[in-house]
Amino acid sequence: MIPLLSTIPVFPVLVAALVDSVPGIFFGLPLVALASLVFAATHHEDPAEIRFATVHWAVWLGGILGLVLAAVLLLGWFA
């Protein structure tokens, strides 16, 4: 699997770009979690509903921001 992927030129560049921005990604994850928690808690009152909505918001925020990050990395590579 790894040798196959390493033959594609995009993959190593993407991995390198991702690793280069690891502190940003790593320290950005708690902020996504915090935003999800606050969004959920300001929309609900019941603790169980807050927990469920936190996961829901985290998936949405993480997904959207992940897509944006991937797009930026790809555009940066093609530029």
Partner 1 sequence: MGQGSDTRLALARDKQAPSPRVVAVSPDDGSAIDLKNPAIAAVLAWAVPGLGHLYQGRVFKGRLFMGAILGTFLAGMWLGGGKVVYASWKPGDTRWAFVCQAGAGLVALPAIVQSLQIRGVSKQPLFGSTFMAPPLTAGQYVSRGYADRLAASDPDIDAEDFFDRPPLKQFRGEQVSHWHRRLGRWFDIGTLYTMLAGMLNVLVIYDAWAGPLGTPTDADRKARTTPQPKT
Binding site for partner 1 (CB under 8 A): 23-24, 27, 30-31, 34-35, 37-39, 41-47, 49-50
Structure tokens at 27: 């320290």
Q: Are 65 and 32 in contact (CB under 8 A)?
A: yes
CB of 65 to partner 1, least distance (A): 13
CB of 35 to partner 1, least distance (A): 6
Residues 6+ positions from 24 with CB-CB distance below 8 Å: none
CB of 3 or CB of 46, closer to partner 1 = 46
CB of 40 or CB of 73, closer to partner 1 = 40
CB of 6 or CB of 42, closer to partner 1 = 42
Q: Which long-range contacts (CB under 8 A, 24 or more apart) does 59-62 make?
A: 61/32, 61/35, 61/36, 62/32
